[in-house]
Every structure is written in C-alpha cells, then in structure tokens.
Amino acid sequence: MNRPSLVRPSLFVLATAGLMAVLAPDAHAQAPAPGALVDALEGVFGKQAGFRRSGAKGVCATGFFVGTPEGRALTGSTLFSGQEIPAVVRFSVGGGSPKATDKGKSVRGLAMRVSNGKETWETSNITAPVFFVGKPENFVKFLEARRPDPATGRPDPAKVKAFNDSHPDAKPQIDYLAKAPVPASYATVNYWGTNAFEFSPPRGKKVFGKWMFEASRGTIGLTDDQLKSLPDNFLDAELRERVASHGVGFDFKVQLAEPGDKVDDPTVPLPESRKVVTAGRLVIAKVEPGAGGACDKITFNPLVLPKGVGASSDPVLLARPASYAVSLGRRLPDQK
Ligand code: HEM
C-alpha cells in the first residue's frame, strides 16, 4: 500500500560537527540549542515526568537483525554478517503524550538498537517517507504554532495555517499522513529513516542512501468502522498477540542516491526510480512485559552507526542526538 521510498556519527562525528560549527559559523548560526528543541516539544505536550519528550507512548520488544550479502557489500559491517544479532526495538506513537490515542493520524515510530559487542547501531524511524521540517529551527517554529491555546486547550488553527502556508516543505508529510490509513498494528506499516546516510562499501565508491523498514507481511490500515469499534489503546495488546501467534518481521531496505540527488533534506524523498537493495531483516521475537524494560535507558541515537555507514550533512539528522540526550536527562530521574 505505502510505496517504499527509501534513505552516522560516533563521538568522532559529533566532534567533527562541532569543529565545522567553529569553522563555518554561518552554516550553523540558526540551529537552536538542544534544550530549545526539547522545550518546544514540552510546550505542546507538557513535561510528562518519566516519559520521552517525543514518542512518549510505546512498547519495548526484543528480537534479532540479520544482514544480507548486499548489506555486507554496502557497509562491510559485522552487523551485516548474516548472523542473528540481538536487537532491542521500541514501537511508539508520535508526540510527547503518554496518553496519545492509537487511533490518531500521527506517525508511529520504530526504534532499534543492535549490538554484537564489537559494533552498535541505533536508529529511530517513522511511518512517513518524509519528515515535517528540513531545518532544526523550523522544528521549533512548527511546534510553537501548535502550542495549545490556553482558552481552548487546542492549537490555534490560524497559527497552524500560517506556519503551513509559509513552510511548504512541511506539506509532503502532512499530505501523506492525511491520506494514509491509521495502522492496524505496529507490525503492518512501513517505517522510514527520512534522513540520508553515507555508505562506504569495502569495494567500490561511497554512495548516499535513505532507508526503510518494510512490514514483511504487508501493510494493513483500519477502516472508519473498524476505528469506531476500537478502544484508544489497542496497539500494545495487538503486538503481543501478533508476535506470539504470527511472528513479526521487517525487511530493511536501502534506496541508493545518484549524483545530484538531494541528500541533506528529510522533507525530500529520493526519486522513486532509484535502486533499492534489501540489506537485512529485523525479526521481533518477544514483547517486554511492562512498557519500558530494556528500552528505558536507550535514546536510539541516530548517529550511533555501523561501520561503513556515516552521517550525511542533513542538519536535521545532526541536530537529533544532542536533543535526545537532553530528553533522556530530563526523563531518567522520574523513571520508575
Ligand atoms: C530536529 C529534529 C528532531 C528532534 C529535535 C527530535 C527530538 C526527539 C526527542 C527529544 C526524542 C525523545 C528521545 C528520548 O527521550 O530518548 C525523540 C524520539 C524519537 N524520534 Fe525524534 N527528533 C527529530 C527528528 C526525528 C526524525 C527525522 C525521525 C525519524 C524519521 C525521528 C524519530 C523519532 C522516534 C521514532 C522517536 C522515539 C524513539 C524511541 O522509541 O525511543 N525524530 N525525538
């Protein structure tokens, strides 16, 4: 149903990004401080003690990731060796409210950490092929426009419209989510990285790509009638039941960019005609009994990357890790 359209740093890359900021102040002059990005989320959703400031509602699972020969050829990483590498996975509902309805037309999230002791990879992905802003400063403006009006408890439609009219790059995600059905399950929807990464094959030239996790058994959305009959919370129980009875998996696909393609903007997908390689498969084996479990202390930092995978210059990607760390710092003291 959803057409697959696809797309790292260690401390070294973060240090390099810091150096670049010193060398090229103009390029980073407008990027908000990590705390300001998190403040913007709290401005809309409040300070939800103990919960992630984004993707607050969710469930933790475990399983494994298996790389394919194509994934190995693209990265040279031991995480793509073909062996089953243990994975911690968190599924979430978009936004910073732990009470968000599962029936909303917001994004769902799939975050994954795989580690074999030698290498670790963390990633978080959403159920839209594009993000809603191409620049971190617009992340703050997007959320400021959606702050609940104290008089109504709801966002002011005029402010939302004014933001949307003046930021046409938000439109592709808004349009996509308006048309996409509400997912019937965390397991029946595709998840996109939206940011581009640079792949360094052991043999061959470097290439940019965007990735996605494609639901192995296809996508299933809910009809309006089905939505009416469902409670606000069904995704957690549905996943438990599905993992126990059917098994749940995702194919990890990378769409490769060609020279000239835009690889520094998560609001712009790669052209549909670009080659796609299936680089791996994620299998969910067990859902943790409570809400948090092994996921609680992880931020799924999108710049903790396997060998052979590096960050692109996408400013949204580069702004993410520090704000995730701020959110972790604010939620951990309250986590039970
Ligand atoms: C400037 C851009 C962004 C900012 C400021 C931001 C901020 C955050 C923050 C503060 C958290 C909570 C982290 C924690 O407490 O552990 C979070 C979680 C998350 N973000 Fe982002 N984010 C951005 C872009 C993105 C993009 C581009 C994607 C994917 C396409 C994404 C997907 C997710 C997901 C799925 C989660 C929940 C992860 C989990 O289950 O732990 N975010 N984000």
Q: Which two tokens stand for residue 117?
A: 């002791």
pLDDT tens digits, one per residue of 187-199: 999 999 999 999 9
Q: Lowest-pLDDT range, 24-33, 91-100, 237-246?
A: 24-33
- Looking at residue 26, what is its pLDDT? 39
Residue 31: per-residue pLDDT: 85
Global pTM value: 0.92
Residue 309 reports pLDDT greater than 80? yes
For 30-84, the pLDDT digits (tens) are 789 999 999 999 999 999 999 999 999 999 999 999 999 999 999 999 999 999 9
Query: pLDDT digit string (tens) for 202-215?
Result: 999 999 999 999 99
Average pLDDT, integer, range 78-105: 98
Q: Which pLDDT value is given to residue 336? A: 65
- pLDDT number for residue 265: 98
Length of the chain: 336
Q: What is the CA radius of gyration of the chain?
A: 19
* pLDDT for the residue numbered 291: 67
User: Which has more pLDDT, 129 or 336?
Assistant: 129
Domain definitions of the chain by residue range: 11-334
Mean pLDDT, rounded, for 206-234 = 97
Shortest-distance atom of ligand 1 to CA 92: 40
Q: Domain 11-334 adopts which CATH fold?
A: Catalase HpII,  Chain A, domain 1 (2.40.180)
pLDDT bracket for residue 155 (50, 70, 90): very high
- Report how far ligand 1's centroid is from the alpha carbon of 131 (Å): 11
The closest alpha carbon to 213, from 320, 328, 121, belongs to 121
pLDDT at 241 over 70: yes
Interval 258-274: pLDDT, tens: 999 999 999 999 999 99
124 Cα: distance to centroid of ligand 1 (angstroms): 7
Q: Where does ligand 1 bind, in terms of residues with CB under 6 Å?
A: 37-38, 52-55, 58, 90, 92, 109, 111, 124-126, 131, 136, 139, 193-195, 266, 299-300, 316, 319-320, 323-324, 327-328, 331
- Residue nearest to ligand 1 atom 29, measured at CA: 125
Give the per-residue pLDDT at 292. 76
The pLDDT mean for the chain works out to: 92
pLDDT score at 335: 81
Write out the chain in H/E/C secondary structure: CCCCCCCCCCHHHHHHHHHHHHHCHHHHCCCCCHHHHHHHHHHHHCCCCCCCCCCCEEEEEEEEEEECHHHHHHHCCHHHCCCCEEEEEEEEECCCCCCCCCCCCCCEEEEEEEECCCCEEEEEEECCCCCCCCCHHHHHHHHHCCCECCCCCCECHHHHHHHHHHCHHHHHHHHHHHHCCCECCCCCCCEEEEEEEEECCCCCCCEEEEEEEEECCCCCECCHHHHHHCCCCCHHHHHHHHHHHCCEEEEEEEEECCCCCCCCCCCCCCCCCCCEEEEEEEEEEEECCCCCHHHCCCCCCCCCCCCCEEECCCHHHHHHHHHHHHHHHHHHHHCC
> What is the maximum span of the chain, computed from C-alpha positions, in angstroms?
61
